[in-house]
Structure 1
Amino acid sequence: MISFLRHAFVDSWLGRVIAGLLFLAFVGWGVGDVLSNMGSERADVVAHVGPNTITTDAFMGAVQSEMPQVARQMGLADASQIPVATRREAARQVLQRLVMQSEVALSADRHGLIVPDDVLRDEVFGLRDFKGPDGRFDRKLFDTRLRQIGMTEGRLLDLVRTDIASRALMEPIRNSARAPETMVRRAFDFDAQTRTLDLVRIAIGDQSAPTPDPAQQRRFYDNHPWLFQTPEYRHARIVVLSPETIARSMEVPEEELHRLYDAQQAKYHLPETRTVQIVTAPDEASARTVAAQWQAGATWAQVQAAAKGSASVQMDGVRAASIPSPALSKLVFAAPVDSLQGPTQTDTGWVVFKVTQVLPPHDTDFAAARQELHDQIAQARAGEQVGVRVQQLQDAIAGGGLDRIPDTLGASATGGTLDAQGRTQSGDAAPIPASGEARLAILARIFSQAKGANPTLVQGPDQTWYAVSVDSVTPGQIQAFSAISDQAAAAWQDEARRHAANVQATDLYLAAKTKGGVALSAPAAQVVHSPPLVRGRQTTGVPDSLAQLAFRIGAIGQSVMVEEPDGFYVATLTAITRPDPSTQPMQVGRIRTGLSQSIAEDIEMSYAMALQNDVKPKTNMSAVQSVLSSVTGPDGAEGTVR
């Protein structure tokens, strides 16, 4: 469902400008400072919304902010790889969002919504990007941020006032929405339902395989050439600019480190924490049944499986104050380790629990915390510096390639030979100064960029900017059979083991279908009884593919077979449990809140569409097409979005 407020306000000036994305106003397609001209009348207007206008600069800046997110959602390395049609559609949606923002603000003004000065002041003082390390509003930081985006204090206050009035108009619409209880119950039945399996794993590694003769080895080699090809290697030079690379070179005054340390006392002076397993039963009889089974030596997984109609939870490293029930908290923090407690009646029901771990209070002194404190402050400030330094890095690359990058930028440079998985020729991870999605994006760029092509600064995930230069390419080659005959023999045997496991699993699956389950078709020692499976949660010993398939099985007693890298699994559905909503009020409340929020979002969108019919915004198609051409290239040709 569409979230109007999320797009209309979180992605508005408040989210785009204030919440860590200031740098986007200074980089991109050469449009200059997007925000410095806000509020001034320009000839390049893409839309009129009543008396208000949306300029091409504002539209361009919003599209520029959107494209990297679209690329990440599509799994692409950078925005330049987004297909033309997708870019144009994303740009149109951005324009629609800007129009909706303006329509809501205009409606708030027409309804006479007035924002008092004290409310305006509290809103500005509450914005985290204007707060210093002590968590309080910092006037100097406020002035610095405004200078960075070329905005006057008066203009910012006008924007904040408009945003508050718009929210005052929309929030009552959102807060009035409530999901029907019938819908909540059906959603709970779907979400809380658990399923149990009997399963048998046929491991590939447990199968035996004969030794192939030379003819079999050669035939396997000829039929599977991709298994015996060396990877392509490329020698590349890389420059990365990110909050992490900038933070490494930042200096933080000692007094600021001490202020942050004092502000985070709860983090560096930890109270006692405990890990506890708790079952909450609806009545004493059910609780005593759980306690008896647990006392008899049942594992936690077995206790959970047997506690039908009860709520079970494991709380790891919990503090006393974090347990919702004060009475239960007192019991948990008074109990000895590994001693079964209960049944005891509390305000949450009849509880049976066991404390499995106790961590004593722990204090971290300033000296031990210093580096972490430095990293917190440096990384927060480094994010603000990325935008300022991107243009400088771009200029440096344009002037001298990747060999003349000033040390003062905080960029990190490296070079070497690696394969598409980021491994060096020795098999080690290449020292690329990025991690996660940013590292993957850089690797993708290296192996898609032509040898000798000029380096171009590209925006990646997580405020990471990078440029690469590919100096040489060593194509992958099929190794000679004489050099890898032993490897071919091992690969032949691996394939033979997989085939043997497949045949064994298929025979078991067919027998389970005939006899009514794997428990009646396989030796008892091979059958594993799974704990209750919950939608969307991983369960030890049960592959995700099998857990997902379990919720598509139509009836108890039905068997399925799945293939995994380590072997084959044959499973039979043995139980479907539908808990009583009264035993899980927290989950019911979470579902009710989520559904109500979704309904509110739909109502908000309907209201926004009604506003559009009333205001009837006018679009300047020539200006829109001009921006779209910048996004996709003239006449729909491929363009570059950076």
Structure 2
Amino acid sequence: MSQGKGSGKTSKTFVWILMAMLILGLGGFGVTNLSGTVRSVGTVGEEDISVDDYARALQEELRALEAQTGQSLPFAQAQAFGIDRMVLARLSTTRSLDAENKRLGISIGDENLAQELMNIPSFQGLDGSFDRDAYAFAIDQAGMNESEFEDSVREDTVRSLLQGAVVSGLVMPDVYADTVIEFVAEERDFTWSQLTGDNLTTAVTAPTAAEVETFYNDNQDRFMLPATRQITYAWLSPEMIIDQVDVDEASLQKLYDERDSEFNRPERRLVERLAFADDAAAQAAMEQIAAGTATFTSLVEGRGLSLSDVDLGDVTKAQLGEAGEAVFLAPANGIAGPAPSTLGPSLFRVNGILGAQSTSFDEAKDLLREELAAERSRRLIDTQIGNIDDLLAGGATLEELVEETDMELGILNWHPASEDDLAGYEGFRAVASAVTLDDFPQIEVLEDGGIFALRLEGETPSQPAPLADVAEEAAAAITAERTTEALKGLVETLTPRLNDGTSFTSFGFTANEEVDMDRAAFVPSTPPQFLTEVFEMEVGDLRTLDSPDGLIVVRLNAIKAPATDDPEVTALKAAITAQLSSGISQDVFAAYAQALQTMYPTQINQQALNAVHVNFQ
């Protein structure tokens, strides 16, 4: 059946802009050489997947991937990623839609086709009218004739008609968005208090040694030592040999001179500048500020600018040119001008005064000596790496290495949380975690220019720490548990009065009042699950939660539904509805497309596919 005039124009214009650009971009690809005697890489029902269509789609996908990654991708790697299979699957779906359109008799007439072509900007001349020569040239460069291209436009347009018919009218019911809104935007008012041992009238009893031992034995998983690796290492850092480096006065003076702008900075101002067309306009603006009828900020905003647009940052007097004298005479928060600038007559607001900074050579000498010595130490280490590598290659042990070089020997029980100086280097941690008993030591370079080599001696699995080492920790855990239980007993005795609305402060509790709290809010000094618990409560409910400091008691005072007239809530609801409706449409169309592929099975010509792939090697 034929579709009425103009149908599908809006939905297809953008698609065919892209297609026209692709045609022009593929002009030199040479797809005409792929045709030969084999014209398709497969069939879907009675519809062919042409060699040229497959080549163009594959080239487009590769270019998109290269644009995304910023680098050229070998075709073999693209195949490993499944790019060719993805393209073929997409074309199979497309051709199944074409087969169904033919069965249903859906098509567009010549008039509609002409309108589609004339609306593609790439085929339009400078005056906006259809350029026949540009159209013919682009199609010829792509190795197509006009009939082939126009057939592809027809097919793509009616595909959109079919897809639109399948998914039209699919809108998520309001109840779904309302439910989501109610969940995310509902608010709570509540009162809570952190209770500790100080709230008890009688302190809990301290655990005995026997109780500590029993607790330790029953909870050994709380006192586990991490698995460790016993590592012997040789290490040389720039700091270890810094005393061997001689830094002369002349080198320090040279470095000071090179960094003079860092140590000696002239007086500066934090300045904003608003330029005007002429002196009269600038003077009139200054008079408005003086009269109090305008401010610098209102003048900026009145020009459609923001303060960031007129901010010059910190500038020196010389950088301001002819305006420097006037600006540097103005006080902090004062206005200077009108004064000349590169943009014309301007007003300047001084937001801050930065005094001149001067650091003499004698004052900077120690810092410069430390930096220069460290740099020379790193260079000295670089000169030793070759010799140390030779020693290790010759069979020298780490112990022998430290006798022949400046390196220092050390032993470390290493685990990922180790705080040893060397364990703080990312380079060392990477090697320490991967080394095996069969590996030979080799020189590795650290982030600060130091070097190290290591040897794995053995590994110790995770095990409980000795009781003597964790007895205090175990006793503290027992005391905390007893305190929490005693606090729960206290709250239980007070619950009837708290449920009647008695103030927390009546019992000496600190009352923290929270209002208008949604699920995304954060309440300091509460456990992570605190708000989740609050949102499970009903108005008037009282609940207790364990905390590291004892016990938290909370009472829910009010539940507030989202304000339906709030613009943010309205916008959120619209966004949720649109997103979910789109998701439903995609799911429905995917199911429809899958059913079509069952109706119109795909047959692939592997020889033709291979012939196309050769052109991408």
Give the alignment's TM-score, normalised by structure 1.
0.39
Larger radius of gyration: 2
Give the alignment's TM-score, normalised by structure 2.
0.41
